[in-house]
Structure formats: structure tokens, C-alpha cells
Amino acid sequence: MAPRIAIIKYGVGNIYSMVSGLRRAGGEPHIVGCIRDPGEWDGIVLPGVGAFEAATARLHECSTEIREALRMGAQLLGVCLGLQLLLNDSREEGFHSYGLSMLPGTVTKLVAPKLPHIGWSPIRRIDGRSCSLLDGIEDGERFYFVHSYALAETRSPWICALSTYGFTEFAAVIEQPPLYATQFHPERSGKAGLRVLTNWVSMLRR
């Protein structure tokens, strides 16, 4: 039986490309506004491109259910904005907004001549850190990014891969089970992106 995956819709894009990617990866994705039965899900996805403040306003309404699902054994995948929402807070557009605080960190604006960062960029693993999402993927593989903000901090042990845009080095992959996240969009990153999704879905079957 395919793992049941809740894709939480909080008013941002890329929902349907994520649905397609997770199906190809072997999952059974469902779009939900909030989790009603925490024990029903094997995986939870926080997707999308969008504004941190607007997303947190919606997401805080079901944060208790998300935490309960994780306590009951679900795994969470945050993508792009979804990665940022796992952190303490953001300084986006001059606003100080609070995330889910599942991991410590502050989202800040990239320092670069041109924003947003849109396009393909390589990522590199941090030596000695587990990075199950990247199993079978060569170091330096390129993935598709769309963002102006990121976690520009590299020392935390749960950051397992980095990328650089302009003058900013930032977290590209986070892994602190049951929390997994990518700043890039695996659902838009071709064969390598599908491998990332497949790696995550395979964890839901264990």
C-alpha cells in the first residue's frame, strides 16, 4: 500500500506539481487544508512559493495537529517556503513573523545583485553529515530554486547540504528526523528531484 501523504494547502502555489511528483515517487498524496486525523498520515508536505507571514497565519491554525501527526510517526517534508516555516522566525519584507519553531533559525534576505534567485544551482553536501534525501545523487547536482530568502546559517548539525547565490551561502537540505526539507523544488528538478522525493517516500514505508 502506498504511503498516505497530506499536502497542506496554505494559499501558495506548486500544489499540483507536487501531487504529480509524489505519485511518481510512489506515494498517495492528498491536498488538505488542515490535518483532521493525525493518525491517518504517513507523511506531511509543506509546499510552495509565497510570503512567510501570510503562510504562517494559515499554518498556525493546524500546527497542533501537525505536531501530533509527527509524534505518531509521520515524517514531514518542507519545500522552499516550507523549509523556512519550520524555523523560528523571518525578517521578510521588513516584518518580523514567527514560524513553527520546530528548528532554530531565522530566515533572512539573500544578498545578491538580482533577486529573486530563479533557476538551476548546484548543491554540495557537508562532509560527515547524514543526508538521506540525497542518497544516489552526486555531489554538485543542480536543482531548481525560486526564492529571495533563506536560512543563511551553515553550522547547525541538521543542515546537510548547502548552496550559494550571489554573496549568500545558505541551507539547501535539512535533515532532522522526522523533519526533512529542501530550499529547492524537487518537484521541478527533473530526474534528480524525483530521486529526492522517492528517497523521502521510501522512508515512509519503514
The one catalytic residue among 65, 92, 141, 187? 187
pLDDT value, residue 12: 61
Residues 20-60 have pLDDT tens digits of 999 999 999 999 999 999 999 999 999 987 788 888 888 88
Averaged pLDDT, 183-191: 98
pLDDT value, residue 57: 82
**Which three three-digit cell numbers place residue 75?**
515524517
Q: Domains of the chain, with CATH numbers? A: 4-203 (3.40.50.880)
φ, ψ for residue 70, nearest 5 deg: -65, -40
pLDDT value, residue 105: 96
Q: Is the peptide bond before 116 cis (omega within 30 degrees of 0)?
A: yes
80 is catalytic: yes
Residues 6+ apart with CB under 8 A from 89: 96, 97, 98, 99, 106, 107
185 is catalytic: yes
The mean pLDDT of the chain is 94
131 is catalytic: no
pLDDT value, residue 8: 93
Q: Given CA atoms 60, 37, 78, 193 in this order, what sign does their dihedral have?
A: negative
CA 160 to centroid of chain Cα atoms: 13
pLDDT value, residue 146: 96
Residues 47-106 have pLDDT tens digits of 987 788 888 888 888 999 999 999 999 999 999 999 999 999 998 777 788 999 999 999
Query: Is the backbone of residue 205 left (phi > 0), alpha (psi -120 to 50) or beta?
Result: alpha
Q: Is 144 helix (H, G, I), strand (E, B) or coil?
A: strand
- Count CA atoms closer than 13 A to 78's CA, side-chain side: 28
Q: Given CA atoms 206, 141, 125, 29 in this order, what sign does their dihedral have?
A: negative
The one catalytic residue among 62, 80, 131, 160? 80
- Report the interhelical angle of 15-24 vs 190-203 (nearest 10°): 70
The one catalytic residue among 65, 147, 160, 185? 185
Query: In terms of pTM, does the model score above 0.85?
Result: yes
Closest CA to 93 of 138, 120, 53, 55: 53
- Residue 45 pairs in a beta bridge with 7, 77
